[in-house]
Structure 1
Amino acid sequence: MRQELKYLSVFLEMEEIMALLHVDFFSDVLGMCMQMDVILPQQTKGQIGMEGKGNKGKIPTLYLLHGMSDDHTIWQRRTSIERYVSDLGIAVVMPTTHLGWYTDMAWGNRYWTFISKELPEICRSFFANLSDRREDTFAAGLSMGGYGAMKLGLSASETFGMAASLSGGLDVATVSGWGKTEEEKRYWQSVFGDLDKVENGSNDLFAEAARLKESGKPLPKLYMWCGTEDFLYEQNVHMKEHLTKLGYELTYEESPGDHQWKYWDEKIQSVLEWIMKNRNN
């Protein structure tokens, strides 16, 4: 019995890797209950195969966004994100945002207002040790979430100091060509409204990048990766050229690959390295 208790004690110490919280909360902006998973850093000892790094000051925060087919659980189910951040001393917020494309939908909910304004306020009220500095607030995502992350960087740069896109659907001005059926077209219209007027509107990242550059507001540091066989590859190349021409601080990478989690699992580690390097600088 004494030996069994000893093993139990060691097991419990091993489990104290990071704090993982499954949060159900109410959004006034959306008028409904929402979900997010949150990883908080924890200083630990006695772990096997990992280190847990705490943070005595205000904690930097990464808002990690999902793609069209997914929800707030997907980054933990498809990657080892908790292990990747365990020794970085940062928090990770993974919210559900349904199929709203991180916009205030033409016929639907105000997901943009939720993700860009309400969610950071809610998180900082729940977890008072999260930093409210833009230099400590980051966004990243894949596919639809890559669009959302870049939009946070370009359209809410007063809050988000860095943004990273993996295989992002970045050129939504071409959305009128995405709908192959009447049902699909109705969906895109519910998100963006008149599809002939998306270009140069508030959801057009190319236009938002130009407007932000001209505004004199702080510019975000940006990271992009896309696989060369990805169906969104050309969009990413065009965005890279556009941002480079405008003079943004952009880290761009590409490598063989298509639209799959085995690449995103690898490249989110590159995103984390990029965040830590640029934050330290």
Structure 2
Amino acid sequence: MPLFQCDFFSDTLKMATSMTVILPRDPSKFAKEPDGSSSGKYPTLYLLHGLSDDHTIWLRRTSIERYADEFGIAVVMPNVHRGFYTNMKNGFDYWTFVSEEVPSFAQASFPLSARREHNFAAGLSMGGYGALKMALRRPEMFAAGAGFSGALDVVSESLDFLFEKREYERIFGSKAETRGSDDDLFRLAEKLAASDGPVPKLYQCCGTEDFLYEDNLRFLKHIRALGLELLYEEGPGGHEWGYWDAAIRRTLEWLPLPERVGAGPV
């Protein structure tokens, strides 16, 4: 199936960067228009990497290329280094890059649908945070978001060993500044629950041996208290690729594309 390594200049980051794109082979799996006709464009999953990885990691550690072809979905994997999908206090505007520039560039360069109901985000760890942030903060753009072993509480002590204090502050500022801001998923969920706009479908999973397990349970409790729809799954597993390979396949089965051949329960 077509696999593209894209090197391009980012107007947002003001530097050269990269992303990887997978396209299905079968044009019969193009997304459908509301009248049932073919759009000529693929539904798209924006698949996000974790803190210590880059845009190539999903291809190297999972079967995402095979899964994407099976389920008929394009996959866009951008590189944000250690930027936590955030407009950094002292650094690069990775939130604007991933939520605005990457979709715009990808849709202009490849046959990808721009319709909300055909666009989704998923990711692991830091990328789980980023994917749910995209769904919660840009619900008009993304119909679903999925986080695996997500770093969902960015003011939690569970993340302290991942950063030197100065790196955290370069990204978010102080924890006091971060709590309640648009980088806080708990606050974003509250704003979404209070809004009159579209509400994306949400999926969350975490291994019971994962160091982020308690943070994930706390986020789950918060989402359910707000009355938002979220499918939660857990099971044996740590912060590791065997768990995430199974999670990404499960997500592709779950994505809300009832017209797609091979679609699973929604």
Give the aligned residue type for 2:198. Answer: P
> Is 1:32 aligned to 2:9, yes or no?
no
Aligned match for 2:53, one of 62, 70, 80 = 70
More helix by share: 1
Task: State the Cα distance separating 1:201 from its structure 2 match.
Answer: 0.9
Report the 3-state secondary structure (helix = DSSP H, G, I; strand = E; otherwise coil) of the residue aligned with 1:172: coil
Q: Distance in 2 between matches of 1:178 and 1:94?
A: 24
Give the aligned residue type for 2:135. Answer: G
> Is 1:256 aligned to 2:236, yes or no?
yes
Report the 3-state secondary structure (helix = DSSP H, G, I; strand = E; otherwise coil) of the residue aligned with 2:221: helix
Contact 1:41 1:53 in 2 (8 A): no
Q: CA 1:232 to 1:180, structure 2 compared with 1: closer, same or farther past 3 Å?
A: closer
Task: State the Cα distance separating 1:215 from its structure 2 match.
Answer: 2.0
Task: State the Cα distance separating 1:276 from its structure 2 match.
Answer: 5.0
Q: Which structure: larger Rg? A: 1
Task: State the Cα distance separating 1:189 from its structure 2 match.
Answer: 0.3
- Matching residue of 1:161: 143
For 1:65-214, list aligned pairs within 5 A: 65-127=48-110, 129-174=111-156, 178-179=159-160, 184-214=164-194
Backbone CA RMSD of aligned residues: 1.8
Report the 3-state secondary structure (helix = DSSP H, G, I; strand = E; otherwise coil) of the residue aligned with 2:164: helix
> Is 1:228 aligned to 2:211, yes or no?
no
- Matching residue of 1:60: 43
Contact 1:135 1:279 in 2 (8 A): no
Using CA pairs under 8 Å that are at least 6 residues apart, name the structure with larger relative contact order, 1 or 2: 2
Q: Distance in 1 between matches of 2:75 and 2:159?
A: 32
For 1:12-27, list aligned pairs within 5 A: 18-27=1-10
Identity %: 52
- Matching residue of 1:47: none
- TM-score, reference length from structure 1: 0.86
Q: How many residue pairs end up in the alignment?
A: 253
Q: Distance in 1 between matches of 2:257 and 2:28?
A: 17
Give the aligned residue type for 2:192. Answer: L
Give the aligned residue type for 1:62. Answer: L
Give the aligned residue type for 2:183. Answer: N
Contact 2:132 2:147 in 1 (8 A): yes
Contact 2:23 2:68 in 1 (8 A): no
